[in-house]
Amino acid sequence: DTPLNTRLSARYKRSFAYPSFKDRIPVILTKVIDHLVRDKESIIAHFGEKAREEVKNVIGYVSQLKNELMTDKPLTELSSLGSDHELWNRILSDKTKEHSRPPTWFQTEWLYAECYLYRRLHEAFLQTEAIKHLDPFHWQKTKALENSLVQAEILAQHVNKIVSNNADSSETEQLFYEFLKISLWGNKCDLSLSGGTEICLQENPLNQVLKYDSFILADDSQCVLKHLADSPKGTIDFVLDNAGYEVFTDLCLAEFLLSKFDEHKVLFRTKAFPWYVSDVIAKDIHYILNTLKEKKGELAECANRWQSLFDSGKFQIVENQFWTTPCVYADMEEVDPKLYGELKESKLIIFKGDLNYRKLDSDINWPPTTPFSQCLKGFHPAPLVSLRTLKCDTIGGLQPGKAEQAASQSESWMVTGDFAVIQFDSS
């Protein structure tokens, strides 16, 4: 029931936005509260006695936030904590003017309200001293990583063999497609959609790649390869999505690009604070490397090599506040010209995941056959590719008949993470 060419919103009851705000996102907040209640003593042991009162305050804040969402209250201004508050408050005031009243959760644009929710959650911690840097999703991310170690080890073994061998060019091409798709399907592992249960890892990841090609609804991987092979060596940017297994697959792809395409360096662009449950913050990458080093064997071998790539600057983590704003990427040049300028230097920008896709295509209910470059609405800093499993009801760039074919296989094809796209743009 979302009109065509309109941004998604929970006001459309048959969109994925509505059940998300009604059921799924309140559960995410409940889990945060439960964690703080359950693990209070260990939090205090870690952050000190001051944390006792602060944990209580955060629990109160998050409960109230959940209540505001569930009763569709108007969104309110952020306090002056956090250097991004002016941007947020300006957007809120623009929306208030536009509609002659403040936006409410279910009536306004979903993307905006959902980002606002994670920013408000961050605000709860900004108001504290001792637990300012507590990541309320850390425990879920670490548990998910533990649960994926069998798959990660299979991949580690594969990567370790490949980087130490010389491959001829046709082998390199095949391996490129394989690593690209491993990283693509790594995006199925998402804790905000699954509510914490891993739905992505039943299989050997190497078999998954071959078996699921028919679920890739648009596959521009050949264009990506051609672009990489035909252009001078350069910097690859990953705009990351989820921690745990997904970022592990991204690191594999990144190392493959350095070792077989001889690219100069890889920048891993991360959020600056906890976001959409499983999204990567810098701390998660360090945690993953340290955890894998302790596992010994193939995993440690991989992690030690990656650590040296970070040490030598071939791999770099770059945080930016823009990724945790509600802005769509078509607005990046205006909102954050510095970041846009940095991305212009990239040889290839790899956007991982569903939320990045929503921001690439402005979260609009496009007719699915709308060309991908049109959905980008002028966002063309450098050649880019989106590796996304579908978890939200917006899509463009499909050939005629593809959407219908997917819908005939599954009514909820757009939101389960079972279908995917590899979409490239170099305009």
Query: Which stretches of the chain bind Mg ion, using CB under 5 A?
Result: 241-242, 276, 279
Nearest approach, Cβ of residue 111 and ligand F6P (Å): 8
Q: Which is nearer to ligand F6P, 353 or 396 (CB)?
A: 353
Q: Which is nearer to ligand F6P, 190 or 342 (CB)?
A: 190
- Report the 10 Å Cβ neighbour count for 23: 11
Q: Which partner, ligand F6P, Mg ion, none, binds residue 255 by CB below 5 to 8 Å per kind? A: none
Q: Which partner, Mg ion, ligand F6P, none, binds residue 35 by CB below 5 to 8 Å per kind? A: none
Contact 27, 114 (CB under 8 A): no
Nearest approach, Cβ of residue 144 and Mg ion (Å): 12
Q: Which is nearer to ligand F6P, 151 or 192 (CB)?
A: 192
Q: Which helix (H) or strand (E) holds 341?
A: helix 337-344
> Which residues neighbour 394 within 8 Å (Cβ) at sequence distance 6 or greater?
8, 357, 358, 361, 363, 364, 365, 366, 414
Q: Which partner, Mg ion, ligand F6P, none, binds residue 128 by CB below 5 to 8 Å per kind? A: none
Q: Which partner, ligand F6P, Mg ion, none, binds residue 151 by CB below 5 to 8 Å per kind? A: none
Q: Which partner, ligand F6P, Mg ion, none, binds residue 268 by CB below 5 to 8 Å per kind? A: none
Nearest approach, Cβ of residue 279 and ligand F6P (Å): 6
Nearest approach, Cβ of residue 17 and ligand F6P (Å): 8
Nearest approach, Cβ of residue 280 and Mg ion (Å): 8
- Please provide the DSSP assignment of 139-178 as one string: HHHHHHHHHTHHHHHHHHHHHHHHHHS---HHHHHHHHHH
Q: Which partner, ligand F6P, Mg ion, none, binds residue 193 by CB below 5 to 8 Å per kind? A: ligand F6P
Q: Which is nearer to ligand F6P, 57 or 412 (CB)?
A: 412
DSSP code at position 233: P
Nearest approach, Cβ of residue 190 and Mg ion (Å): 5
Q: Which partner, ligand F6P, Mg ion, none, binds residue 392 by CB below 5 to 8 Å per kind? A: ligand F6P
> Which strands make up the sheet holding 348-352, listed edge to edge?
216-219, 420-425, 384-389, 348-352, 235-239, 265-270, 315-319
Q: How far apart are CA 124 and CA 128, in angstroms?
A: 7
Interacting residues toward ligand F6P by CB under 6 A: 20, 114, 187, 190, 192-193, 241-242, 276, 278, 353-355, 358, 391-392
Q: Which is nearer to ligand F6P, 190 or 250 (CB)?
A: 190
Nearest approach, Cβ of residue 276 and ligand F6P (Å): 5
Q: Which helix (H) or strand (E) holds 374?
A: helix 372-375
How many CA atoms, within 13 angstroms, populate the side-chain half-sphere of residue 16?
19
Among the listed residues 278, 273, 269, the one whose alpha carbon sits nearest the alpha carbon of residue 381: 269
Nearest approach, Cβ of residue 366 and ligand F6P (Å): 15
| CA 283 to each of CA 140, 243, 266, 295: distance values in angstroms, whole numbers, following the listed order | 14, 10, 18, 19
Q: Which is nearer to Mg ion, 128 or 242 (CB)?
A: 242
Q: Which residues pair with 387 in a beta bridge?
A: 352, 422
Q: Which is nearer to ligand F6P, 24 or 295 (CB)?
A: 24
Q: How far apart are CA 328 and CA 3, in angstroms?
A: 19
Q: Which is nearer to ligand F6P, 188 or 347 (CB)?
A: 188
Q: How far apart are CA 224 and CA 180, in angstroms?
A: 10
Q: Which partner, ligand F6P, Mg ion, none, binds residue 20 by CB below 5 to 8 Å per kind? A: ligand F6P
| CA 221 to each of CA 111, 227, 260, 384: distance values in angstroms, whole numbers, following the listed order | 28, 10, 16, 11
